[in-house]
A and B are shown apart, each in its own frame.
Chain A
Amino acid sequence: MQIKKLYSDSLAFAEKDLKLAFRYKVNFFAQTFLTPLTTVMPFLLVYSGYFLLGGTQVENLSDTTFVTFLLIGTIVNITLRLGFNRYLNKFKLEKYWQTLDAISITPISKLSLILGGMIDGLVSVIPGIIIISFAAYLFFPTSLAVVLPFVVLIIFALIISLCLGLIAGLASIFNENYSTIFQYSLLGIVFLSCFFYPISFFDNHPILALLKTIVLINPYYHIVTLMRGVWFGTGFSTQSFIFVSMFVVAMPFISVALFNWVWKRFTVEGY
């Protein structure tokens, strides 16, 4: 019964959020697809220039693999941004509409906020991911067997980013200063996820080597590495998969518990 209600509530959230997101379609597409594409573009240009000028190898990247390598990074980047920004942007609006107050008094589990976000997030990213995956396939064809692990890992990335987004969104409604802080922290996560360069880049300087420690505990690094491993057939680390799975299981409960605790404890500022 509880699971049925959770499922029905999640679907209700997904439907409502999709309708809200598509009210201003250009804004939605720009945030979700254009920003990640503009992020990958400089790397694409630099790598292309290097290989066109006769370069043969950048760490383990070659002229046949670098585009697909970047496009897989872009897929995870899109997923991360979509989940992370979902609540950050939405909650700011909902704060003024007072719809969060309305939701907070309905008899629902806050897990449905995350599950609903996952459903509408998947619906939102799937078209872009299919296009990018197709492009990646053109540059480096792979087996169709990658589809299942790919989808699973994208769902994992989305769940983690939604949980982070829920915490960021909640903090932002209590104090809008946090909204800016979290927006910039997203850049930090992207930088420390190796979406656009191999992790071996971090071995080239003592400070970067320190940052590598953070990269290694960043689940997005493991997700993107697992996806690349599957695509290029270079292996699948069970250890990484278990590490990411632990995040996927724990994060929803942690973020919902935090949501419930913070919601009751603090007073919303600014309206």
Chain B
Amino acid sequence: MPSAIAVENLVKTYRAKESSKNFFKGVLAPQYTTVTAVDNVNLDIKQGEIFGLLGTNGAGKTTLIKCLTGVMSPDSGSIYLNNKSIEESRHRLGVMFSSSMIYNRITGYDNLKFFAKLYGVEEYEKRIAELAETFEITRYLPRLVEGYSLGTKTRLAFARTLLHDPDILFLDEPTLGLDPYIGANIRKVIKDLDKTILLTTHYMEDADELCDRIGILHQGKIIATGSPEQLKKMVKSHTSIVIESSYPSPQLQAELKKAPFVLAFYKREHGLKILIDHKNDLSKLLKILARYNLTKIDEHEPSLEDVFIKLTGAQHAD
């Protein structure tokens, strides 16, 4: 299948100001550091493929999308979209950065009308009505966006992205912070689109459900790519334990860090998720856990989340 997004050796660095403990030094002689947000990234996404980019906060997902869409210029590397330069394919791209890229002080309808005109959408009123129905936002369109809920704003942002029926979609955290109903609505639209899509998300379930292939981005580098099934095979021999406690104590986290059979652990809403090397190590882990006041301990089938935890070496429990 022909390539839709071809990226070679992409690098993007930026200058970040560092805070100083000394107020006057910070103001008068600020220190800067160079951050490599995208570090030699190579991608080959086929036409019609949904490619998910997983990464922790600050992994470089948004910067990568900004480079791929021409919002930012990379320091080096090449990008081809449907075998054309970004400039040549600009009118066929759809870009959504979560719930932003929307004018808050005008109505939803005015937002859609404005962008429809810039993209030269003919019969834009009909197109806006279609998209409003798809995203169930028809009744909100005459209102000012500043009064919208996050869910409505995100759906409006998605509708804006689809106005000109783009060939390639870049969706940055399209389901971030949404309730289950709206999240499901967005996922359904993504699945039904039948377009080349590059999406970033924190939600492993979304990636698992939507993506044909997934790339894991860590500190600006793609450290693994494959279908969800291929990636899950990487942790097939491991065991995943979810513990619940009102507050995972620092001592427990320190013990887990030292334990050689603990591959990684990750903070969840009410506890921790711990990935251990092998089921045989379970008894050793239980011995540690028994010393702490936990409300629940569950064993789980390894999932995409475990792949992510293992590959990024996440120890985000603090």
Contacts and interface: CB of A to CB of B under 8 A. Distances in A.
A16 B110 contact: yes
Interface string A3-37: 00100110110011001100110000000000000
A203 interface: no
A107 B90 contact: yes
Nearest to B63: A267
A5 to B, nearest CB: 7
Which of A8, A102, A104 neighbours the largest number of chain B CB atoms within 10 Å of its CB?
A102
A5 B120 CA distance: 8
Nearest to B70: A105
A200 interface: no
A271 to B, nearest CB: 10
Contact of B69 (A8, A105, A267): A105
B30 to A, nearest CB: 12
A101 B91 contact: no
B257 interface: no
Contacts of B83: none
A149 B165 CA distance: 46
A102 B103 CA distance: 10
Which bracket fits the contact residues of A?
20 to 34
A26 to B, nearest CB: 14
B142 to A, nearest CB: 13
B106 A12 contact: no
A97 interface: yes
Given A12-B114, A106-B90, A101 B15 contact: no
Interface residues of B, number: 30
B28 interface: no
A23 B143 CA distance: 13
A164 B101 CA distance: 25
B105 interface: yes
B97 interface: yes
A105 B114 contact: no
Nearest to B106: A19
Contacts of B103: 16, 20, 97, 99
Chain A interface, DSSP helix/strand/loop, else mixed: helix
B129 interface: no
A98 B100 CA distance: 6
A205 interface: no
Contacts of A104: 70-71
Interface in B86-113: 90-91, 93, 95, 97, 100-106, 110, 113
Given A98-B97, A101-B66, A107 B91 contact: yes
Contacts of A19: 105-106, 110
Contacts of B72: 264, 267
Contacts of A11: 117
A102 B117 contact: no
Contact of A23 (B69, B105, B113): B105
Contacts of B119: 106-107
Contact of B71 (A15, A97, A105, A265): A105
A105 B90 contact: yes
A103 interface: yes
B203 interface: no
A151 interface: no
A138 interface: no
A8 B120 CA distance: 9
B117 A99 contact: no
A171 to B, nearest CB: 17
Contacts of A108: 118
A9 B110 contact: no
A98 B118 contact: no
Interface in B24-68: 66
A40 to B, nearest CB: 30
Given A5-B120, A9-B117, A264-B73, A102 B101 contact: yes
Contact of B118 (A9, A23, A267): A9
Contacts of B102: 97, 99
Contacts of A23: 105-106, 144
B14 interface: yes
Contacts of A105: 69-71, 90, 93, 95
B93 A20 contact: no
A8 B15 CA distance: 38
Given A102-B95, A105-B90, A12 B104 contact: no
Interface in A98-150: 98-99, 101-108
Interface in B75-91: 90-91
A22 to B, nearest CB: 9
Nearest to B13: A267
A191 B20 CA distance: 40
5 contacts: A11-B117, A12-B118, A16-B103, A98-B101, A105-B93
Report, nearest first, the 7 A-B pairs whose CB atoms are least far apart.
Answer: A12-B117, A107-B91, A102-B101, A23-B105, A98-B100, A106-B118, A264-B73
Interface of A: 5, 8-9, 11-12, 15-16, 19-20, 23-24, 97-99, 101-108, 264-265, 267
